[in-house]
Amino acid sequence: MLIYLALIEGEADKRKFERLYMNYRQTMYYIAYGILKNRAVAEDAVHQAFLRVIDRLEKINEEDCHKTRGYLVIITKHIAIDMYRKQQREQALSYEELEYSVADTVGSDRTNEIWQAIDQLPANYSMVLKLVYSHGYTNKEAAQMLHITEENVRQRIARAKKKLAEILEEGET
């Protein structure tokens, strides 16, 4: 807590923050842990939430009221959700990693077959697959490049994967 207090200038603000910390740290941890399911990451989320609270300390008028509790819960929840999403993105295999793992397990013939199948897809499907999985662009970046919405990018990816599976299935029979 000393780290937080060192970031705050006024004595009144320090006392206010100290009361907030003592009253709500467990609630904030509970919220973060419920989303993240990891002790250390939940503690990091609470830490980031308290840093954000320090930046917005003037918005809190009463330390012990339902509005303050709700405000702190929302901050913690948003930070935890952002951290969860980041974890999910990092855990997802990139297209290149997938290609190498497929090449290792099945052989390079299968990799060539996959690339040929991607080339058989309609241009709007193959383009979005290549942008997102091969070139590493995010859905948002791909949407901007193609002048379409992010939802459209997600739909095209889903449809492209389905069509790709059909093409690969036909090739096996």
Residue 49 and residue 81 in one domain: yes
Domain count, the chain: 2
pLDDT mean across residues, the chain: 82
Domain boundary among 91, 107, 122: 91
Q: Is the full-model pTM beyond 0.85?
A: no
| DSSP per-residue codes, the chain | -HHHHHT--SHHHHHHHHHHHHHHHHHHHHHHHHHH--HHHHHHHHHHHHHHHHHTGGG---SSSHHHHHHHHHHHHHHHHHHHHHHHHHHSPPHHHHHHHHHHHH-HHHHHHHHHHHHHS-HHHHHHHIIIIIS---HHHHHHHHTS-HHHHHHHHHHHHHHHHHHHHHHH-
Identify the CATH number of the domain in which residue 61 sits. 1.10.1740
Q: What is the mean pLDDT of residues 71-100?
A: 76
Residue 51 and residue 122 in one domain: no
- Domain containing residue 9: 2-91
Q: What is the mean pLDDT of residues 76-105?
A: 69
pLDDT in tens, 20-46: 989 999 999 999 999 898 999 999 999
